[in-house]
Structure 1
Amino acid sequence: MIVITLTKVPPSLRGDLTKWYQEVQTGVYVGNVSARIRDLLWERIVRNLSTGEATMVYNAQNEVGYQIKTTRKAYAVVDFDGIPLMMRVNQSSEPVKHGFSNAAKFHRAKMMAHKSIKKHPQKMTTQIASIDLETTGLDVTKDDIISIGAVKRLSNGENDHFYRLVRINHEVPKKITTLTGISSEMLESEGTDLESALNDLSIFIEDATVVGYNLKFDELFLSESFKKVNQPGLSNSMQDLMPKVKKINQFLDNYRLETVLQAYEIKNPTPHHALADAQATLNLAFKLMENGDLKI
């Protein structure tokens, strides 16, 4: 049996622990994993505590049958004749002069820089447009684009929207219709041909920097589709948000767009709809820019 208590830790760390332990009360986790996994998880906890604290109690072959590890600064684990005890560390009665060490100076500079970014978001010097596609499958050599959504932020702060349904020469698979709500009948009655859709998209985007989530997927389909209609592909600068989110948030359960949007408190009422996903992706890009995690 292993018991871990956490206080004032990042939410991502709490979520990560629930993969191996059960949270029986806020900040209290109970589980039973191997010693190797236990030690690896403890290293992970210590590495990602930020300003929080953690204590772990686990089975051990000693007088009391358990051992203690803690990061609490006011306590130290001591061995008293084979019995682990939590000893309060004597605190200095003199006031601590903060900022005298290089580490403290670096931390203060980092915090001030972060505050500065938050207070003064990046100014828009480049137009930004987001793109999302719905396709009949994942194979770029066999499957087709059935809808294109794009959203562009204008200089006045408003958004301009682009959406096209694209006709194809075969039936839309039932699972794709279930996922996206797009049927063969819709494409036939409301869709346009691929060449017109791509030409309209190029005109809409102009020279904007293009952002997307898992953008490489969309780039491959767009590149292949432009070749099919003998049009030059997009030459815009591209920014894929997925690798940036993975670097920033290492403890998300997964990196599907729905999960990431929830983590950043961005609403998307109609997922798997190209225009709605493009709008949510643009909102994610601006959220990352506000946080200082994305520069365009």
Structure 2
Amino acid sequence: MIVITLTKVPPSLRGDLTKWYQEIQTGVYVGNVSAKIRDALWERIMRDIGNGQATMVYNTNNELGYIFKTTRVDRAVVDYEGIPLMMHLKTTDKQRQPGFSNAAKFHKAKVMSHQHAQHTTNSCAAKAQPFVAIDLETTGLDVTQDKIIAIGAAKMVHDQYSQFYQLIKIDTKVPSDITKLTAITSEMLESEGILLTEALEKLKKFIADLPIVGYNSRFDMTFLANSLRQAGLPPLSQNTVDLMPIVKKENKFIDNYRLSTVLPEYEIKNKQSHHALWDAAATLELATKLIEKQSLVL
């Protein structure tokens, strides 16, 4: 038996799941498919989930008789002596901003109209807002079992660009499909990689307290949160912004919202897709373009 719960996901994804599962309640799917199909459908969920959330529970041979996966950034699935547990992660709740009444909206529009010329003049200052973009490459999509093999980050501080890239040693072989996708081999990790704890310490020093941007960042931030916890390091506490929902709001008629599809819409070239550093650099440039268009405020 397999149970999947979805919230705030695109209708197309819900439609896909009904081909394999029965929707017994809005957002709740039940089915009984092979492990191969189950994992393939979970990959599809991870790919197309957008800004929504998903959790999957299925049978397995452990003390409880089941295990679960989740995309929630405020939760992490942890293994405690063979028993899966759902850990609550510390997150910074954003306070709801005042100004939802019509009068407030009218006042805000009036003020923005008055300041438009000055804001345009200061666009270079907005573009110089310090922030960092992060991207990861992993051995798979399961945060409880798969491992980070590369970390890439790029930051812009007062118009000064700098970057961070590190391969990570792992104690297993890199799956052949991951090597095909990322060009990262087990031999490369052995010769050029460092331990994950050391890499995370270097990454935290690189990003300092800067706000973080990512594209479909739920995946990366969940992996980072889980890895930091396992390494005994403090969690990231700064503001994190996912650019995908912003792009979706701006561009409603793109064929899909994969990074490789979105970048040309903003006239951005990526040196190498599925390379942590170059994906991070492209995400940084995308964030800069969105700041210039006043679609993103950090």
- The answer, yes or no, to whether TM exceeds 0.5 is yes
Q: CA RMSD in A?
A: 2.3
1:30-60 per-residue CA deviation (whole Å, 9 max, x = no partner) reads xxxxxxxxxxxxxxxxxxxxxxxxxxxxxxx
1:270 to 269, 272, 296: 272
2:165 to 155, 163, 166: 163
Alignment of structure 1 residues 80-91 onto 2, 5 Å: none
2:147 is the counterpart of 1:154: no
Alpha-carbon deviation of 1:154?
2.2
TM-score between the two structures when normalised by the length of structure 1: 0.60
Alpha-carbon deviation of 1:213?
0.3
2:150 is the counterpart of 1:142: no
Q: Give distance in 1, aligned partners of 2:246 and 2:204.
A: 26
Alpha-carbon deviation of 1:227?
1.4
Distance 1:173 1:215, change over 3 A: same
Alpha-carbon deviation of 1:122?
6.3
Distance 1:183 1:115, change over 3 A: farther
Amino acid at match of 1:184: S
What is the count of residue pairs matched by the alignment? Answer: 189
Task: Determine if contact 2:248/2:257 at 8 Å carries over to the other structure.
Answer: yes
Query: For structure 2, which runs of at least 5 residues remain unmatched after alignment?
Result: 1-108
2:229 is the counterpart of 1:235: no
Q: Give distance in 2, aligned partners of 1:111 and 1:177.
A: 51
Alignment of structure 1 residues 8-27 onto 2, 5 Å: none
Task: Determine if contact 1:117/1:291 at 8 Å carries over to the other structure.
Answer: no
Query: For structure 1, which runs of at least 5 residues remain unmatched after alignment?
Result: 1-106
Alpha-carbon deviation of 1:130?
0.4
Task: Determine if contact 1:114/1:292 at 8 Å carries over to the other structure.
Answer: no
1:187-242 per-residue CA deviation (whole Å, 9 max, x = no partner) reads 00000000000000000000101000011111100011011111111111111100
SS of corresponding position for 2:123: coil
Alpha-carbon deviation of 1:120?
3.7
Q: Give distance in 1, aligned partners of 2:291 and 2:198.
A: 33
SS of corresponding position for 1:232: coil
Counterpart position of 1:127: 130
Counterpart position of 2:188: 186
Task: Determine if contact 1:211/1:282 at 8 Å carries over to the other structure.
Answer: yes
Task: Determine if contact 1:172/1:184 at 8 Å carries over to the other structure.
Answer: yes
Alpha-carbon deviation of 1:153?
0.8
1:172-191 per-residue CA deviation (whole Å, 9 max, x = no partner) reads 00010011010000000000
Alpha-carbon deviation of 1:142?
1.1
Counterpart position of 1:14: none
TM-score between the two structures when normalised by the length of structure 2: 0.59
Alpha-carbon deviation of 1:116?
6.4
Amino acid at match of 2:135: D
Q: Give distance in 2, aligned partners of 1:194 and 1:209.
A: 22
1:41-96 per-residue CA deviation (whole Å, 9 max, x = no partner) reads xxxxxxxxxxxxxxxxxxxxxxxxxxxxxxxxxxxxxxxxxxxxxxxxxxxxxxxx
